Amino acid sequence: MVSMPAGSVSGTGAGMGNMASGDGLAAEASGLRFVPAVTSLPANRPSVFRFQIRVADGTPVTSFQPDQTKLMHLYLVRSDLTGFQHVHPTMASDGTWTADLAGTPAGTYRVYTSFITRVGGTNAPLVLSQPVTVPGTAATVPLPAAATSATVDGYTLTVSGDKPMAGMTHMLTVTVTKDGNPVTDLQPYLDT
């Protein structure tokens, strides 16, 4: 069983739950800007996504602090929530990040970058984002009904606790079982 406040991620880094002014809703925050090389990805083919984080004068940022053992987390999320990728790009010496993405179906997406870098003399956890499109006819995929448990590969995760609400902290408990028995050998992933 794992308990943590809703909307937070425990660990050594900022994660998604401890954001400074970069809350993921914009491409720019705290004097930094997320600048992708492209705003379109090919449909249903693996692709390479390159980008930089730049300061106001256009200079690329090249110094980042680890967040959950990685210098950068990149999330590609389809607008209808039916597609999701979480990858860890690599950075070249010029500050250009490269992320290998799996093939994605046509649709509208948003790319989020989550990282920690120094801003104004202190480490600043930021999440910046940009829209990205995958051309073609997007097939509508309805989301499943909300549920408090899900089973995959014999593992069942059940969430209990107060209903999360925006702007408020609530405790959630996640119970993991396999074939009806408690799972007691969970291991940390990315220091969490």
Which tens digit of pLDDT belongs to each residue from 177-192? 998 899 999 888 877 7
Q: What is the pLDDT of residue 146?
A: 87
User: Residue 42: which domain range?
Assistant: 28-134
d(CA 123, CA 88): 20
Q: What is the pLDDT of residue 21?
A: 53
Q: What is the pLDDT of residue 167?
A: 87
pLDDT band at 3 (very low <50, low <70, confident <90, very high): very low
Among residues 117, 129, 16, the alpha carbon closest in space to that of 66 is found at 117
Bridge partner list, 133? 40, 108
Q: What is the pLDDT of residue 163?
A: 83
The total of other beta-carbon atoms located within 10 Å of residue 116's CB is: 21
Look at residue 118 and tell me if it is in a domain: yes
- Which CATH number fits the domain that encloses residue 49? 2.60.40.1930
What average pLDDT does this structure show over 18-31?
74
CA atoms within 13 A of residue 122's CA, in its CB half-sphere: 5
Look at residue 11 and tell me if it is in a domain: no
146 contact partners, CB below 8 Å, separation of at least 6 = none
The tally of domains found in the chain comes to 1
pLDDT band at 79 (very low <50, low <70, confident <90, very high): very high
Which tens digit of pLDDT belongs to each residue from 86-144? 999 999 999 999 999 999 999 999 999 999 999 988 999 999 999 999 999 988 878 88
Look at residue 163 and tell me if it is in a domain: no
